[in-house]
Amino acid sequence: MLKRMLILALGLFSFMAFAQSARQSTLVVGVDLGDLITLDPQVSYEFSGSLITDNLYETLVRFEGNDLSEVQPSLASTWSVETQADGSHKIVFNLRDASFSSGNPVTAADVVYSFDRAIGIAGPSSFLITDVAKMTVGSTVAVDDQTVELNIPADANPNIVLNLLTFNIGGIVDSKVVMEHEVDGDFGSTWLRENSAGSGPYVLERWDAGAQVILTANENASRVGPIKRVILRNMQESSAQQAALESGEIDVAYNFTPEAFNAAKSNPDYTALQTDSFQMTYLGMNSGEGKAFADNRIRQAVRYAVDQDGIINDLLGGLGRKMQTIIPFGLFASDDTLYYERDVEKAKSLLAEAGADGLSVEFLVSTGSCGGGIPCADLGAKIQSDLAEVGINANIRQLPQSELLDIYRAQGAELVVVGWSPDYPDPDGNATPLGDYNAKSLAWRNDWNNPEASELAAAAALEADSAKRGDLYGQLTKLVAEEGPFAILYQPSVPIVTRAYVQDFIRNAQGNVDFDKVSKTE
Amino acid sequence: MLAYLFRRLGYLIFVIWGVSFAAFFIAQIVPGDPIAAALGSNARDAQIEAYRIKTGLDKPVWVQYGRYLSRLSQGDLGNSLRTRRPIASDLRDFFPATLELTLAALLFAILFGIPTGLLAALFKDTLIDVGVRSLALIGGATPIYWLAILMISIFHTKLGWLPGPGRLDAFLIPPPELTNIMTIDTLLARDFEAFVDSLRHLVLPAIVLGAFSTALLARMVRNTMIEVLAQDYIRTARAKGISERWVILKHALRNGALPILTVLGNLLGSLLTGAVLTETIFSWPGIGSYATSSALSLDFPAVMGVTLVAGLTYAGINLLVDILYAFFDPRISYA
Amino acid sequence: MNELQKRNLRRFVKNPGSMLGSILALIMILLALFAPLISGDPLAQNLSERLQAPSSSHFLGTDQLGRDVFSRVLQGARISLRLGLIVVSLSLLVGSVIGLAAGLLGGFWDDFLMRITDIFLAFPALILAMAISAALGPNLNNVMIAVAAVSWPSYARLLRAQVLAIKHVEFVDAARALGATQGRLAFRHLLPNSITPLMVQASFDIGSAILTAAGLSFIGFGAQPPIPEWGAMVSETRNFINEAPWASSSPAIAILLTVLAFNLLGDGIRDVLDPRSSQR
């Protein structure tokens, strides 16, 4: 009898120990997965899609941890850049030994397939490959099993190309497995949407739409960490994440409100991480001929009217940096000069000079949340009251994000508050869209055509000498800060709160987290 | 009876067609460009054009309607612009969660609404009656989303008695997806711990979603029972000396069952509506939250799909209720 | 005032529910009418006074932008009551025309119009309203259209039933014998006789219109900020439910009380005018 009880107790004990270790090696993240559409690395272009695919697939080169200044080896152990006589570039990558989760080795053919696949699918982020890197089918060539050559034309900057290959669109897929699942020339994207075939530290175990994504350790991976299972739970309400973190139901929460985040800082059970981002939240002012903000004095008046400190300190609870130029902190050539200071009187006199007393504009505000996780509605209301103080009447029109973008894209917005993040961590990721009208991006959307800014942006993009490049960007940021169609509001931080026992949860400014680096003590 | 059934079926088909027609044309008045919306802020113009052609949205409206109808007749609801999957498979993924939540809410409403209504009727004009009626009135006027955040704040955050949003504790291993109904899947997997946990996760959203229905049902049961209890045959039964409890259960409840059945049918419809708000707050992966995110990103094919399925369910339930009514009530004849 | 009306009024006054409803509704209407006099600026922000608890300077505390919740709730009363009235008038108009036409014309038209009504009833109300509001663009006016689009069918059904019930009653037959036209019949005889059930329905509908519209605003398909619409206010402040429950609960309780008032009123009118149900 005693013996049986002993066995039972032992069994129970070992079960509990097992449960305990399962908890130790499982990381549960509460995050808003509302934007998740696909887990195909060549299609995904959303925040949560990138976060996940970065852990399923490896790229040729990558950034390590928080350091985004220089690309590091990943699937490629070494590479070299040669500029040809005609000015075009050849990048040669040497692959290291690695295998996919299926056991197949990673070969040059997989790299060629993956890049051509990105071009063939023409997904939402494919312009990075086709328009920025200016690659076509045939640009990527397998020299032998371990060597890949990438040929890009003279008007593409090889540093920027290396930079954007760190994105999930550059993730290398297992060509043998994916080709087995091709249907009607879809490059297997229907299958890869909810399956994985990569060499990253995790494989996709399941995706319960609207509820959760579960990753388990990839047994064939070269990157191995203590966390064997990652569960990303879809929690759209901040209050829900707060409650779940408190009860230990989740280990990491992504969407704390500024208030809750500041309270978490003094809680010994929590670690509050104010992580960087390259995002910026800004006001766009339509500067086209005959439009409300055609006169730069009115744009200046708006810049002088907005209470940046109030927004950052009170509304964001400090979760943002004051910024007035188009190149954010953390990027090469970022410009932290403050070109203007809040000055209600000056704004009023600028408006009077421009003959714009009693100016009334339509102000587009998204129904969703803006940088730093605050509702755009709150930010819009704050700006509306700031502008009212100097005599500008901004009539808020609240729209779903998608509808707002649609109007903005067609140059249809008079005044709009939105966010932007560069497509790749290089100043060009901001300078061209925000400075160059011809890029048909943000400068165009606000109908601001300044040939000098266009030239500066184009020249800086291709400049190889970094001192000269920095100088060109300095001129550009000053020009746009003083004359551009934007009032930059702030560069938001992403507030992440973890239980104190979670170690090494590092989110870099691009939003990537290496789950294999994370561990749990307890 | 058979002729009545056929006529009702004919109506049902007409109603379904009407719903699909209305849904299609509501989608046509969208001011924004759903394609640009689907591709995000950085998409290039050429990409947008290509996607427009791929989805057939470049064709004239009547051609689109023709295609829509012919696909619909084959059970194909088209593709979602947002998730880029067939809407039918999206709905297959999301509908079971709504079904589970709705049925749990209905169960809650029946378990609480009918007994409290009965109680109020039996103790008419006493403190119990006044209490039940007041609660029912308040329940019928409470904004469901506020009730939801309040309940989470009290019973999850402050007291920690019940789990908050979600369907299963993250540290538990979810069962294989067979039916997509968590309580059933956990049972099929013989995972008792997960089953109990999934039930616990159902409690708060089901109470929130069921509150309005409970209030309505309690009122309805009370009023029906008072009416029935005043009927002659009940008085006769009492006079014959049959015990009070027997009278109520056997006679009154049976005679009051029909109007209550009708109310239950209507309640299912209102539950589907309530699910939109409840699911959003409880991160419940059902068609309500699917519809909200779809509408927010102007994904009208998906919204049309949800509307159609919800309309179909609603019309089907009403038909069923009517048939049951006709079947059980000999006084009504359907020529 | 004749005997019957006097008796009805007495019955209405003696009913505690209907009295409570009338008083509540009256208070709400008065608050809404005089809101500009009582309340401060509902839009005035003071970021240094965010999420303050209720105090003598802010009866219901402040919200996330330091705005006075009391002022916003008061102004919200204007918006919601106006919305309720307009929605009910709109649905009453559309529903009456369709219901009357169906009942009077009969035959094919009756069938056709009633099937159209069925189609609208087959939609789950909030999903249809959401689709309409999203398609038209979310703002207060479109919310009214969206909510009216889901609430008119009950009036159509009600009026049609009334028409059918009254159609063969003697005085109508008499009027027809005297050569009254269909249109005259409708307005002189049928409408006045249908007024009571319509009043009951309208009273309930003001409440449910306010509730539905607030629900739409809550999920982002309704009023634009910074408009102090109650549903939008609950939505904007819901993430502060733990730190500042007053900010989201005040507008929610305002919705509750208003809807309750009109429901009680509807109950009261029905009890008075339908003696059979008054014994309930």
**Average pLDDT value for residue range A141-156:** 93
How far A210 CA lies from chain B's nearest CA (Å)?
Answer: 5
Report the candidate in B139, B313, B283, B315 with the shortest Cα–Cα distance to residue B210. B139
Q: What is the mean pLDDT of chain B?
A: 82
**Average pLDDT value for residue range B72-82:** 82
Percentage, residues of chain C above pLDDT 90: 30
pLDDT at B335: 41
Q: Band of the pLDDT at C64, cuts 50, 70, 90?
A: confident
Judged against a pLDDT cut of 60, whether residue A5 lies above it is answered with: no
User: When comparing pLDDT for A346 and C177, which is higher?
Assistant: A346
Judged against a pLDDT cut of 60, whether residue B21 lies above it is answered with: yes
User: When comparing pLDDT for C18 and A434, which is higher?
Assistant: A434
Q: Which of B212, B276, B281, B318 is the best mutation test for C, with the most CBs of C within 10 A?
A: B276
Report the candidate in A485, A477, A500, A481 with the shortest Cα–Cα distance to residue A408. A485
| pLDDT digits 0-9 by tens, A285-312 | 999 988 999 999 999 999 999 999 999 9
Judged against a pLDDT cut of 70, whether residue A439 lies above it is answered with: yes
Q: What are the beta bridge partners of residue A283?
A: A417, A487
Please report residues of A whose CB lies closer than 8 A to that of B164.
240, 243-244, 247, 249
Please report residues of C whose CB lies closer than 8 A to that of A237.
238-239
pLDDT at C278: 41
Judged against a pLDDT cut of 70, whether residue B32 lies above it is answered with: no
Contact by Cβ (8 Å): C77, C83: no
Please report residues of B whose CB lies closer than 8 A to that of C18.
none
In A343-451, at which residue ranges do the beta strands (DSSP E only) sit?
A: 360-366, 393-399, 415-420
* Lowest-pLDDT range of A190-199, B275-284, B308-317: B308-317
Residue with tokens 């803006």: A370
In order, the DSSP letters of B166-210 are: SSS-TTSPPPP-SSS-HHHHHHHTT-HHHHHHHHHHHHHHHHHHH
**Average pLDDT value for residue range A185-197:** 92
Tokens describing residue A467: 């001192």
Which residues 225-254 of chain C have a CB within 8 Å of chain B? 231, 234-235, 238, 241-242, 245, 248-249, 252
pLDDT at C169: 66
Q: Do C225 and A398 lie within an 8 Å CB cutoff?
A: yes
Q: What is the mean pLDDT of chain A?
A: 90
Judged against a pLDDT cut of 80, whether residue C91 lies above it is answered with: yes
**Average pLDDT value for residue range A13-28:** 70
Q: Which of A237, A314, A384 sits opposite C226 (nearest CB)?
A: A384
Q: Band of the pLDDT at C280, cuts 50, 70, 90?
A: very low
SS3 category, A106: coil
**Average pLDDT value for residue range B217-242:** 78
Please report residues of A whose CB lies closer than 8 A to that of C138.
367, 398-400
User: Under the phi-then-psi rule, with left for phi > 0, alpha for psi from -120 to 50, and beta for the rest, what region is A270?
Assistant: beta
**Average pLDDT value for residue range A230-251:** 88
pLDDT at B292: 87
pLDDT at C279: 40
Tell me how far apart the alpha carbons of residues C231 and C209 are, in angstroms, rounded to a whole number.
Answer: 12
In chain B, at which residue ranges do the beta strands (DSSP E only) sit?
A: none
Judged against a pLDDT cut of 90, whether residue A54 lies above it is answered with: yes
SS3 category, A273: strand
Tell me how far apart the alpha carbons of residues A184 and C25 are, in angstroms, rounded to a whole number.
Answer: 64
SS3 category, A109: helix
Judged against a pLDDT cut of 70, whether residue C181 lies above it is answered with: no
Q: Do C226 and A238 lie within an 8 Å CB cutoff?
A: no
pLDDT at A11: 55
Q: Do A397 and C243 lie within an 8 Å CB cutoff?
A: no
Contact by Cβ (8 Å): A277, A493: yes
Q: What are the beta bridge partners of residue A381?
A: none
| pLDDT digits 0-9 by tens, C1-59 | 567 777 777 777 777 778 888 899 999 999 989 888 888 888 887 877 888 889 888 88
Q: Do B143 and C249 lie within an 8 Å CB cutoff?
A: no
Contact by Cβ (8 Å): C91, C155: yes
Q: Which of A240, A246, A402 sits opposite B152 (nearest CB)?
A: A240
pLDDT at A510: 85
User: When comparing pLDDT for B239 and B97, which is higher?
Assistant: B97
User: When comparing pLDDT for B92 and B34, which is higher?
Assistant: B92
Percentage, residues of chain B above pLDDT 70: 89
Q: What is the mean pLDDT of chain C?
A: 83
Contact by Cβ (8 Å): A176, A199: no
What count of other Cβ atoms lies within 10 Å of the Cβ of residue B90?
A: 24
Q: Band of the pLDDT at C172, cuts 50, 70, 90?
A: low
Tokens describing residue C271: 């009890």
Tell me how far apart the alpha carbons of residues A354 and A296 are, in angstroms, rounded to a whole number.
Answer: 9
Subunits in contact with chain A (3 or more CB pairs closer than 8 Å): B, C
Q: Which of B138, B143, B276 sits opposite C127 (nearest CB)?
A: B276
How far is C-alpha A56 from the chain's CA centre? 17
Please report residues of C whose CB lies closer than 8 A to that of A257.
239-240
